[in-house]
Amino acid sequence: MQFDVAIVGAGLVGQAIAAALIQGADDIRVALIDPSTPAPAGECSGVNDYDLRVSALTAQSQAFLTDIGAWDLIPHQVLSGYTRMHVWDAEGTGSVTFNATDLHVPALGHIVENRQTLTALNQLTESARSIERLQTAVQSFDNPDADGWVPVTLADGNALETRLLIGADGALSNVRQMAGMTTREWDYGHHAIVATVRTEQSVAQTAWQRFRPEGPLAFLPLHSDDHLASIVWSTLPEEADKVLAMSDEDFCAALTDAFEGKLGKVTEVSRRQRFPLRQRHASQYYEAGVVVAGDAAHTIHPLAGQGVNLGFKDAQVLSEEIVRAMDKGLSPGSDAVLARYQRRRQADNLATMAAMEGFKRLFASDQPLVRLIRNEGMRLFDKMMPVKQHVVMKAMGLQ
C-alpha cells in the first residue's frame, strides 16, 4: 500500500487534516490509521447523555470547519453559541465581562460536544474515496528510503509506504516518541474534573469562569436546555480526590459553594471524570518524513479553552503546506515543506502557552500585593473597551 499521506489518529485534529487534504487536492491518497471504532453522537435527554469533553470553538475554528465541509454537518440544535463571557477573581472583587454585542458579532464562540464535531468529520472522511481507513495501530516505521517513502509496519501485520507520516495521536503520541522528538513539559499540579450539571438558574448563553487559588472553575452552556452546563473544575489533586469521593448530593453542594452560587444551586450532576493537567511542547515538530500536530505537538491548560483551537490551526496550516507542495510537484514529506509548517505554527503555539501559564501563575498567587494589583487590573481592563475588543478578537482568531 502506498499513500501520499498517512495520518495516525482519527480524533478531531487527525480527521480535520484528512478532510482538509481531500478538499484541497483531487488526486491525493490518504490513509487514516486508528484502531478505535467511530461512535456516532446520540440523542441527549439527561445529564448523563452528554459527552463529558466539550470544546469552545472560536470563529476561526468555525471558519475552518466550514471550509472543509464539517460545520454544516453538525446539527444546528447541538451548537451552543455563547454571547457573553464573565470571569472574576475569587480572592477579590475584580471581574471582566465580554459581550458579543460590543464586537458586533452574533456570538463569541460555540460550545460543542467533541463527539458531535467528530461525527461530522467522520461523515466526510468515511465517504471520501481517496481516504482509506485502517483500523489498526502503527507498530514501527523507519527513515525514508532513497525515493522518499517512509516504510510503516502496522500492528495487524500489514505494511504501507507513505511520503509523509502525520502523528495526530494525542498527548502521549507514539509517533512522536518513535520518531525521537523531544518535549519540554511540566506538571501544572492541577487535575481537571469534567461533568455535566443542571443549575437552578439559567446559564444564559454565558461562559462563566471563577479564578480560584486552587485553579479555575468554568461553567459552559450546553444546547437544548439553558439550565445545563458543562463544567471544567481545575483543582489540586488532593481536592480532586475529596470531591470525586463525594455522593452526587454532596458534590453538587461543594460545586455550588466553589462557584459562589453564581447560578443558584447545582441540582444534578452526571458521572464525573478527571484527568491530570500537564503542559507539553515538542521542541521540533518534524523529523525526516514525519510530523506531529495537535496534542501530539503541544498541550496546554484548559483555562481558556484554546487547546482544540490550536489543533485546528495546526490542521489548517499543515494541510495548506501539503497541498501547496503537491501542486508544485514536491514531496509532502520534504524538510522544506515541514519547516514551513513549523515556522507558521510554533510561535503562535508558544505564545498561547506562555499566556496560559502566566494566567495560571497570576491567579494562583495569594500574596496581598499581587491580589490587589490583579483585581485593580481587571477592573481597569474591563473599562478599556478598545483593548478588550482587541483581546477578544485575537482570541476568536479574527485578528
Can you tell me the distance from the alpha carbon of 66 to that of 275, in angstroms, rounded to the nearest whole number?
31
| Nearest-angstrom CA–CA distance, 341 and 52 | 32
Q: State the cell numbers at 160.
A: 504501507
pLDDT, position 343:
97
* Total tally of structural domains belonging to the chain: 1
Q: State the residue for C-alpha cell 445529564.
A: 47
Beta partners for 162?
Answer: 3, 150
Q: What is the mean pLDDT of the chain?
A: 92
Instruction: Tell me: pLDDT of 399 over 70.
Output: no
Q: How confident is the model at residue 274 (pLDDT cuts 50, 70, 90)?
A: very high
pLDDT of residue 81: 93
The 3-state DSSP class for residue 362 equals helix
309 three-state secondary structure: helix
Query: What would the pLDDT profile of 189-209 be if each residue is shown by its tens digit?
Result: 899 999 999 999 999 999 999
Q: CB within 8 A of 228, min separation 6: which ones?
A: 47, 50, 196, 197, 198, 199, 203, 221, 222
How far is residue 354's CA from residue 388's CA, in Å, rounded to a whole number?
19
Higher pLDDT, 386 or 341: 341
E-strand ranges in the chain read 2-8, 30-33, 54-57, 80-82, 84-89, 95-99, 109-113, 131-134, 138-141, 150-154, 159-167, 183-199, 206-212, 215-221, 228-235, 266-269, 273-282, 286-287, 290-292, 298-299
Distances (CA, A) of 285 to 179, 205, 292, 328, 342: 10, 37, 6, 23, 6
pLDDT band at 12 (very low <50, low <70, confident <90, very high): very high
User: In the predicted model, what is the mean pLDDT of residues 324-330?
Assistant: 94
Average pLDDT, stretch 338-358?
91
Between the CA atoms of 344, 350, 355 and 360, what dihedral angle is there, to the nearest 10 degrees? Answer: 150
Asked whether 381 and 89 are in contact (CB, 8 A), the reply is: no
Q: Is the pLDDT of residue 388 over 90?
A: no
- At 303 the pLDDT is 73
pLDDT given at position 366? 77
The residue whose grid cell reads 444564559 is 204
More confident residue, 65 or 397: 65
pTM over 0.85: yes
SS3 at position 374: helix
Per-residue pLDDT averaged across 82-109, rounded? Answer: 91
- Tell me if 164 sits within 8 A of 196, measured CB to CB: no
Containing structural domain, residue 113: 2-395
Q: How far apart are CA 163 and CA 175, in angstroms?
A: 15
Q: b vs e for 256-272, b when ≥16 Cβ sit within 10 Å of the residue's Cβ? A: bebbeebbeebebbbeb
Lowest mean pLDDT among 39-43, 112-116, 183-187, 311-315: 39-43
The per-residue pLDDT for range 121-156, each reduced to its tens digit, is: 999 999 999 999 999 999 999 999 999 999 999 999
**pLDDT above 90 (res 361):** no
- What pLDDT score was predicted for residue 43? 73
What would the grid cell of residue 42 be?
A: 446520540
Measuring CA to CA, which residue among 5, 43, 48 is closest to residue 24?
5
Which has more pLDDT, 167 or 351? 167
Higher local confidence (pLDDT), 5 or 356: 5
> What digits encode the pLDDT tens for the residues 285-306?
999 999 999 999 999 888 767 8
CATH of the domain at 211: 3.50.50.60
Report the run of H or E that residue 351 belongs to, with start and end.
helix 335-364
pLDDT for res 390: 85
The residue to which cell 514501527 is assigned: 140
| Residue 206 CB contacts under 8 Å (≥ 6 apart), including other chains | 82, 83, 84, 85, 86, 221
C-alpha 366/C-alpha 369 separation (Å) is 9
| Average pLDDT of the residues in 366-383 | 87
**pLDDT score of 321 more than 70:** yes
Which residue would you say has higher pLDDT here, 174 or 373?
174
Q: Are 295 and 171 in contact (CB under 8 A)?
A: yes
